[in-house]
Structure 1
C-alpha cells in the first residue's frame, strides 16, 4: 500500500471507466490519496487487462494504471446492482464515467438519476465528442480526436504527412488531465457553495484546446499552421538531428544565448544570423544536420556536458528510466502485486514535499473487494452469497 496519505485523502470516487482516459485520471487521483472504487462488469472485462506483456497473471499496463484502487464487480443490468450503487453514494460522492452519451441513462445511473439520491454529487462524464453536438453518439479513439481537433494537421513531416505520437495525447493530455482538473475544481466549488454538478468532458474539446500557440495565431489571422512550417513543429532549427551512429540530438535553443552556444559548438557562430531570416531555415537545418551527422552521440554528449544550450540526447525509454535525472526525481516506484511479488512502475510526477510515495498497490482482479464493500454497506453474508449465485456480483 501507499506509504503516506496524499493531499486528496477523504475524497471518494466511483469509477465506471475502462481503457485509458478515465482510468489514468482516477490513477492520478488515487496517487494523490483519493479512495477510488472501480465498478467493473463481471462478464465484460476491461480490454486493458488483456494487453501484453504480463507481470504474473496481470497486464503490466493495467497493473500500473489501476494501482491503488479497489474493485467491485457488478452486473449493472440488474436492479439489485443499481440499488448497491445508490447505497454507495452515501459515501462516494464523486462519479467518473466514460461511456457514449445515453449509456448510463439507460442503466439509471446518469447524473440526473443519481443527483436525486445525492444532491451534492459531482459527476464527470468523459466521452469522445461530448453530450451535445452532432457527433455525440459517434465512436472514436485518440487518433480520431487528434484529427478532428486540428492538431494532427500540423504534427508530422511534409514528406510524410501527419504522424502519430508515441503516447495518446488526446486521451491523456486531453481527457485524463482535464478530467482531474474539472473534478478538483468542482470539489472546490462544492466546498464553497454546497453544490455539486455535471462535468460534460469531451476529449475532442480538450484536444482542440491544446492548439494553444498555433491555434491562437490562426485565429488572429496568421493562416493555417502547416507541417514543418511553424516555429516548434520543424519549421525552424528547433528539431531532431541524426548523429553518425543513427541516434538523435534534440536541439531546442531558440533564445539567442542558447543558439549562440550551440552554433559555437558546431564551429559556425556566424549561423546564428541566419535564424532571423525565415527563408533560410530549410538550408540552415540541412547544414546543422550535416555537421551533427559527422560524429557519434557519445562524442556530442562529451562536448555538450559543460554547455547549457538546450540540446539533449533522445533517450530510449530504458535509458531515461536509468538516468540520473529520473532516479533523483524518484520517478520509479514499486507496486505490490495481488498474488505476491512486486512490479516496478512509473511513479506519480506530483510531489507534495519530502514524502513522495514510493510504494503502491498494483491493479487488482475484477471484484477483489466486492465482499468487503458490500459488508460495509450493511449487506449480510447470506445476501452477498445470493448476489454471487444470481450473478449480480463477482
Structure 2
C-alpha cells in the first residue's frame, strides 16, 4: 500500500538516523510515516544490527523490514576522515539527527552536538541512551530489561508470588525511548520555529520507564506501600482484574475496575453472591480466585466471549499474534498493510497507530537495501562522481547490497 496524494504532517523535515536497534528505529519510523525524509546512516558491511535479527524473510530480517519503511540507506564509515566529512556535509541540510550510541562516542568522533551545531545551528540532535548522558550509570551497558529493572518497574512484572518475570514487550525501549524521543523532537521543531535554533535532546530509556510509574509511584510516595507484581489491585492481586484459562486451553482477560461492570459480570455468570465482594483480600481473594478459575474452566474461550460480550463489560479473549492479525477490529483499523520490496517481494507491514484526518500517514517505500541511497544522497548535496567513487572504493561508503 502506498499513498503519495497528500503530503505528510512532517513533510519537508530531513532526519539523519544513526541508530542501530529498536528504540531509534521505531522513533524515526514514526517520523517517516508522518512524512519526514529519513536517511539511515549505516556502517559498511553489516549495517543496522536489526538487518540480521531472525526471522530472515529472503535476505533481510523481518524485524528490520517492519521498522524501516519510508527510509533511505546511506553507508558511511564514521571512523574514517572521509566518512566523517560526508556526514558533516549531510548535516548541513538536515533538520534532525538521532543517535543511540553510548554517551561520549559521538564526541570522540568529533561528531557530537557541540561540533555539529557549529555546522548547522538549526540542527535538533536527539541522543537515545539507556541511562542518559550524565549520572553514575551513564556508561553502563544495558537493554530493555535492565532499564525497567533500575526504574522500579521490574518488580511490577511478576507472578502472584512476586517473582519478577521478563515482560513480553520492549516497554522501556519503545515507551521510554522511541516515543519520548519522538515527542521531544517534535517539541524542539516547534521551539525552533520561534527561536531559529536547534537544541540537544537527552533521552534516557530508564527515565522514560520511571516516568511511567504514575499509578505505582503513588503507592509508595503517598501510601508508603512498595508495589509488587501479583500483589496490587491492577497487577495480579484482584480476581476482577485478571486472566483465566478456559476448558480448551485458551485464555481470557477480565479487566473490571468499575463497580457497575462487576455487577453486570456477576449477573451474567450467576454469581450474585459476589456483587459486594469485588476487592477481596487474603483468604477471601484466594477463595474468589478458585471460584472464577473453576467457572471459566467450564467452557471454551470463544464461547465465553460470545456469552459475555452482550453483557457490555471489559472482557476479551487473549490472542496470540496470528489471531490478532485476523481480528475484525485490527482489520477495520487497517493495522496490517503491505508494500513491495525489490528483493523481498510483497511484504506485510504493521499499520499506523496515529490516524490523522488531514495529513494521514503513508507508506511510500519499503525498508531500504543496505547502501541503496548512498550515491543519490551524496549527489544531492553536491558530491561529484569522482568523490563518490573514491568514498566507495576506500570502503568509506558502499554500493547497494542486493
TM-score interval (norm. to shorter): over 0.9
**Post-superposition CA distance 1:7-62 (Å, at most 9, x none):** 11111110100011001100111111111000000034322111122222111110
Matches of residues 129-208 of structure 1 in structure 2 within 5 Å? Answer: 129-159=131-161, 161-208=163-210
Distance 1:340 1:202, change over 3 A: closer
User: Which structure 1 residue ranges, 5 or more long, are not aligned?
Assistant: none
Matches of residues 90-129 of structure 1 in structure 2 within 5 Å? Answer: 90-129=92-131
1:22 lines up with 2:31 in the alignment: no
User: What root-mean-square deviation, in Å, do the aligned CA atoms of Structure 1 and Structure 2 show?
Assistant: 1.6
**Post-superposition CA distance 1:224-281 (Å, at most 9, x none):** 0022121210111201011111111100121112111111122102202112544433
SS at match of 2:12: coil
* Farther off after superposition, 266-275 or 68-77: 266-275
Match of residue 281, structure 1, among 285, 289, 312: 285
Structure 1 position 298, deviation (Å): 2.2
* Farther off after superposition, 53-62 or 371-380: 53-62
Structure 1 position 324, deviation (Å): 0.7
Structure 1 position 356, deviation (Å): 4.6
- In the alignment, what sits opposite 1:3? 3
CA contact (8 A) 2:34 2:360 kept: no
- In the alignment, what sits opposite 2:343? 339
Matches of residues 374-393 of structure 1 in structure 2 within 5 Å? Answer: 374-393=378-397
Match of residue 211, structure 1, among 210, 213, 222: 213
CA contact (8 A) 1:347 1:358 kept: no
TM-score w.r.t. length of structure 2: 0.94
**Post-superposition CA distance 1:85-130 (Å, at most 9, x none):** 2221222121101000110011111101101111121110001111
- In the alignment, what sits opposite 1:257? 260
**Post-superposition CA distance 1:165-199 (Å, at most 9, x none):** 22111101111111101101111111122221111
Distance 1:227 1:341, change over 3 A: closer
Structure 1 position 217, deviation (Å): 2.3
Matches of residues 82-93 of structure 1 in structure 2 within 5 Å? Answer: 82-93=84-95
TM-score w.r.t. length of structure 1: 0.96
Structure 1 position 319, deviation (Å): 1.0
Distance in 2 separating the partners of 1:3 and 1:277? 53
Distance 1:195 1:340, change over 3 A: same
CA contact (8 A) 2:154 2:164 kept: yes
CA contact (8 A) 2:57 2:344 kept: no
* Farther off after superposition, 57-66 or 153-162: 153-162
Distance 1:261 1:354, change over 3 A: farther
Structure 1 position 322, deviation (Å): 0.7
Question: How many residues align structurally?
Answer: 394
Structure 1 position 359, deviation (Å): 4.2
CA contact (8 A) 2:238 2:279 kept: no
Distance in 1 separating the partners of 2:214 and 2:24? 23
